Structure 1
Amino acid sequence: MRTTTAEALSATTLLRFATAGSVDDGKSTLVGRLLHDSKSVLTDQLEAVERASASRGADAPDLALLTDGLRAEREQGITIDVAHRYFATARRRFILADTPGHVQYTRNMVTGASTAELTVILVDARNGVVEQTRRHTAIAALLRVPHVVLAVNKMDLVGYEESVFAAIAEEFTAYAGELGVPEITAIPISALAGDNVVEPSSNMDWYGGPTVLEHLETVSVGHDLAPGSARLPVQYVIRPRTAEHPDYRGYAGRIAAGTFRVGEEVTILPSGRTTKISGIDLLGEPVDVAWTTQSVTILLQDDVDVSRGDLIVPAEEAPALTQDVTATVCHVADQPLTVGHRVLLKHGTRTVKAIVKEIPSRLTLDDLTQHPEPGRLVANDIGRVKIRTAEPLPIDSYADSRRTGSFILIDPADGTTLTAGMAIREPGIRQPDML
């Protein structure tokens, strides 16, 4: 029996990945080359790029225009916003985030890489590892992205010399290793010429590793969350009040971690009430089991008080509630974060008032040393903070859960996102190796 395209795609795995690098390292060109050479560009899209390239006097299509969609991006020749693109090959489906390289937009790299399972960090072969390379590597380590690819771009401009690639790869690997990056793959490429992006390069016969696309298609994709640590932040309470379902009360949300089963005993946080799951609805149909990333509605056996912002967890694996949060953060706002700063802390679907009690340290990216008691963090700084919340929260360690161990700090005056945070266990409990 023949397999339809939809069936084939549903049988493949999904990889979320992000690109990062300094300005003009060729991120958008690499993404454009991936889309073009993997036959993932529609004819009308390519024709639009060809027209735009011709209007700028280019002899060949500028593939960077496939992702740089904002008018300001095309005029300035830089990426400003995170551009998400979706494509697929016969082996895998992809969601990619092309993130900005300019230091001013580093905050957008945090957004793009926060859900990524792999980050491609580009380096210009002529410049080697620069400050933005180190910053993006630190953020990838901070966000615990499982796989990092070093793409040494513009090899055509250094004569495809193996020694240039080897020196950059050695420096980068040593730096990333100090940050605790678990897996690093270095690939020499020319995004403009297409060397080692989709097809192997005849200009670098000294390289025997995979192309960028081959690595993306074959890298292992796993869940960063323990199967038993199930978490469902309640987003909405569903009460249809229809004649068909007069007593229906469901608690809807996206499963952030683990697996839920009908009949399982669960605890509602922060109240601490315990009950059992009487049913699970997925896309309007009842199921016995649901797992990470699925959006579901859970029905409970008892009539307990559950509302938006609550967390449903297995009764035996409920995280401890705390009002004192220690975290590694990346500050993303122009407004500095200072000791005594009153903020809103958003964790999952719940937002509470909080105050910054301490800023113990700021990370120096050049040598990975700590600057003690900086007093404040400015845009793009990475540091450690201690926060006191007005209400207890069930925050996991980010080392255990990238979803329920993360939060953001918000300016209560205008709703601006100030800081992205990754919770850390206090001494006596296993700490992550970052900072």
Structure 2
Amino acid sequence: MNAELKPRALDIEFFSKESSKTTQLVNNADVSAQIDGKHTWFKYIFNEPVFLTKIEVFSEGYNSWDKFEIIVTHVDGTFHEESVDVKTGVVSLQLGKLVSGFQFRPGRKWSSSPKITKVIATGLTLSEFHAFEWKLKEHEQRAAELAEKQSNYDALKDTRDTLSSEKTQLESEIGKSRSQLDDLNTKVSSASNSLETLLEDVKTARSDVKRAREDKNKLLDETAEIRRELETLTREVRLFPSEISGFVREGNRNIRWYIGLSMPFVIVLFVILNSLFSSAIDLTQLWRNEESIDVWTIFLTRLPFVLVAFALIEACGYIVGRLIYEIVRINRQRLEFAKLSIVAKDVSAASANTTSLTDDEVFEKETQLKMNLLREHMKNQSADQFEYKGSAIVSALVGVAERLGGKKGD
């Protein structure tokens, strides 16, 4: 390719409106032709399409963080838009397209008066571009042909070297194969003699394998039966811990149920007490402010309400107390069972520490100890603790009735 086909700075004659101030900036060397860097579009239109490779805008007064907006118009009507940073007073955009024009707009500056000093558009004219394109195609075609020839030459050379190496290797292997063939003939004659002996041994081995498989199937059947028995025994042995877990879950459910039952009585008790105290305060204020009031009359008229209130307080307090007692009793039983389990586990673990017992044997001893502790614990419980008195709420209501009946009898 010739030197004149290299991209160059396009002269001002290639631009339309040569007399405008904006166009005068093309390849400008005159300081007086500089233009203020306003935040407006500087447009450049070519007289004919050119192959544009680079756009450079020289300026003064812009910082490195300022940006220029550049729009390039392609010959097919499409646009390329990009925001470019200012680097040491120059805004540069690399391209490689046939374009009909471009425009740029500097960023807005409030505190200074920047200048646009020069614009350089580097590229080729349309005729130069076509000549460059043909030269490039010819060069690429010659390069492809040379590359293909070089590839063919390298392939032939590699093939020759490979065939030569394979020839040497084959000659060496033929010599080795002939020597091995003589050895194999000797071995074949020896193997033929021992083949009959091996066949007899194979028959004997097959008979032994058949008997071993039959023994193996019997052992597998016995093992499966033993495992089924072991699973049954394990479920029976571990029945006690699962019952403790069920007792704990049932205890938690009863505790939530008793708390829910006690809430209405607590609310009633709180409302009655609040009403009594507020009424007493109102009566005190009334007695202080009214001199002619008859306190005894007010006291006698409120006496039935007070008696009913005391009866409700007594009933609600007893029911709430009874329910709290049931919650405490359930929690105490849970603690007793947990204590038994902990003691049994610790004693079993400590006792089996220096022994050769297996895990299943340790678990069996631990379960036996739990059952013995539970039996002794149940013996020590008082008989009236297991007397059925109904549910907690029924027992509480019966207790309130008995207390009220006892007070009337007194």
TM-score range, shorter chain: under 0.3
Larger Rg: 2
What TM-score results when the alignment is normalised by the length of structure 1?
0.17
Which structure would you say has the larger RCO, counting Cα contacts within 8 Å and 6 or more residues apart? 2
What TM-score results when the alignment is normalised by the length of structure 2?
0.17
More strand by share: 1
